[in-house]
Structure 1
Amino acid sequence: MSRIVVVTDSTASLPQKVVAERGIVVVPLQVVIGADVMDEGAEGATPELVAEALRGFRPVSTSRPSPSVMLEAYEQAAREGATGVVSIHLSGQMSGTFESAQLAAREASIPVTAVDTRQVGIATGYAVLAAVDVLDAGGSGEDAAAAARSRAAASSSLFYVDTLEYLRRGGRVGAAAALLGGALAVKPLLTIKDGVVATLEKVRTATRALSRLEELAALAAEDRQVDVCVAHLASPDRAGQLTERLADRLADNLSGREVWCGELGAVLGAHVGPGMIAVCVAPVHEA
């Protein structure tokens, strides 16, 4: 009997309880703070460490898992009885993680299907959950990969940053955009388009930015059943307020499902900086 295992990376931002319950394998990316290299996670690089380092102007960078690390995850799955793997990752336009998965797949002893979600954060996580749902319903690895791609493409990732400087430092937006934002003292609203960060709108205040995030999330939900998550870096109060408003406003779309709210992981946090607020709206996938 075939058993397909889903592998993802730590930027998928799935709660540990969900990872354990659904049998998902998570490969960590790494964060480099000064001379310290740490795996992303509760026992290594945490959002709090990253926010503190950024505020203190310490050098912070991130790195992908190597192909050998990805290969070990696949081989461990094989040793535990897996007959195949679906490996689902953040946008290949923004990280080499997907490339590592592709390279490792060529060497694996079992078939591996690597999926580039062209998304980041929990949008990748929701794609992972769609794949697991398909497998649990008896679908094939190809069906699961297709479901992951479909849900990722249908999801909306919307976020606000206090400054574009951190994205500029990491090469995620052009220097001109960062300078323009600073010069006009605007609060940029961003999205993920075609696998990269794109400007959505510019507003004048943080209060207006959060209000627009709520409006844009509601527009993204339309009349569909959706899952919603609010993420933040070092901004729990504002994230909590937005979570409550979205839970009320999208009650019909949620049908009793909770709006997840949590701190952004260390790797993504390193590129957006303290004060970031994000909303992901992901249409529910019917397995």
Structure 2
Amino acid sequence: MTVAVVTDSTASLDPDDAAREGITVVPTTVIIGPRVYTEGVDVTSQMIADALAAGVPVSTSRPSPETFQSVYEALAATGAEAIVSVHISSRVSGTVDAARLAAGRVNVPVTIVDTFQAGLATGFAAGSAARAGSAGADAEQMATAAREAARSAKVLLYVDTLEYLRRGGRIGRAAALIGSALSVKPILTIDDGLVAPLEKVRTSSKALARLEALAVEQVATYPGDYDIGVQHLASADVAASIAASLSERLGRTDIPVDEVGADIGAHVGPGAIAVTVGAR
């Protein structure tokens, strides 16, 4: 059986990686001021960073059910006999709801996976589903692989300010940190599908050092191979430095450094650094 894998652009997959693994990425919508853009088509993370720095309103919108329906129908028309659709946490986005609505409108069976994750952790889950499919798994086995990858993944996020998460309604349990002393720099994670505080550190430099240490500690819990990635918004030098240090500590030379996607960037803001790890 031919099973297609679909995800959304919040998964932050490199286009080359998505193409290599046969993953179809459905773009989200990004609104900067009065203009509407499509992630991966006509908006960049730098545009998001510049707009936020200039105080221009930035917001995002899930893909519509009609968009998902068109994608599912196109995949079926090209030979897909089933689809596994892997998406950002339903607790921070309506993307899963849109995908489920679309799934009920098409003739091909679609299994929806709510990862209860965000960013690269969702991407890792989609990648696990695709690899399982390449190894001969059926749709349900692929969905199980995606869910297991999502459960194993750990998002470690540093933000310069919680303001952008607050504005976008994505702050979750980290809302408890608003009003803390300005010198306190939180390290955040995704817990049960919501943004949640993990640790509070006194300075940015200490927070970033702790982010790196936590990533190394998480990797040590995995019995075998793992995925890892470093992402940033308008903080390339810092991200590269963290990746280089992680490469030395973990004995790897393949830790990618990328800007976060425009949708995620709109909510974390300039200066954000994320390290995401997950068992393969």
TM-score tier after normalising by the smaller chain length: over 0.9
Equivalent AA in structure 2 for residue 40 of structure 1:
E
* Deviation, structure 1 residue 138: 0.6
| Counterpart among 156, 160, 163 of residue 162 in structure 1 | 160
SS in 2 for 1:180: coil
| Counterpart among 253, 260, 283 of residue 279 in structure 2 | 283
Q: CA RMSD in A?
A: 1.3
* Deviation, structure 1 residue 206: 1.3
Q: Deviations over 1:229-280 (max 9, x none)?
A: 00000000000000011111112xx5x6x11110000000000100000000
Contact 1:168 1:178 in 2 (8 A): no
**Alpha-carbon separation, structure 2, partners of 1:129 and 1:61:** 27
SS in 2 for 1:151: helix
My pick for the range that moved more, 141-150 or 15-24, is 15-24
**Alpha-carbon separation, structure 2, partners of 1:242 and 1:176:** 27
* Deviation, structure 1 residue 187: 1.1
| Counterpart among 181, 204, 208 of residue 206 in structure 2 | 208
Q: Summarize the alignment of residues 173-184 of structure 1 with structure 2, pairs less than 5 Å apart.
A: 173=171, 177=176, 179-181=178-180, 183-184=181-182
SS in 2 for 1:230: strand
The corresponding residue for 1:272 is: 268
Q: Which 4+ runs in 1 deviate beyond 6 A?
A: none
* Deviation, structure 1 residue 176: 5.3
SS in 2 for 1:107: coil
Q: Summarize the alignment of residues 128-277 of structure 1 with structure 2, pairs less than 5 Å apart.
A: 128-173=126-171, 177=176, 179-181=178-180, 183-222=181-220, 224=222, 225-251=225-251, 258-277=254-273
Which ranges in structure 2 are unaligned for 5 or more consecutive residues? none
**Alpha-carbon separation, structure 2, partners of 1:23 and 1:130:** 12
Q: How many residues get paired?
A: 277
Q: Summarize the alignment of residues 62-77 of structure 1 with structure 2, pairs less than 5 Å apart.
A: 62-77=60-75
SS in 2 for 1:102: helix
Instruction: Give the direction of change, closer, same or farther, for the CA distance of 1:13–1:146 in structure 2 (3 Å limit).
Output: same
Normalised by the size of structure 1, how large is the TM-score? 0.94
Q: Deviations over 1:151-179 (max 9, x none)?
A: 10011000100000111111122695353
* Deviation, structure 1 residue 22: 1.5
Q: Deviations over 1:122-167 (max 9, x none)?
A: 1111111100111001110000000000010011000100000111
Instruction: Give the direction of change, closer, same or farther, for the CA distance of 1:178–1:229 in structure 2 (3 Å limit).
Output: same
Q: Summarize the alignment of residues 3-82 of structure 1 with structure 2, pairs less than 5 Å apart.
A: 3-41=2-40, 43-82=41-80
Which ranges in structure 1 are unaligned for 5 or more consecutive residues? none
Equivalent AA in structure 1 for residue 3 of structure 2:
I
SS in 2 for 1:57: coil
SS in 2 for 1:163: coil
SS in 2 for 1:101: helix
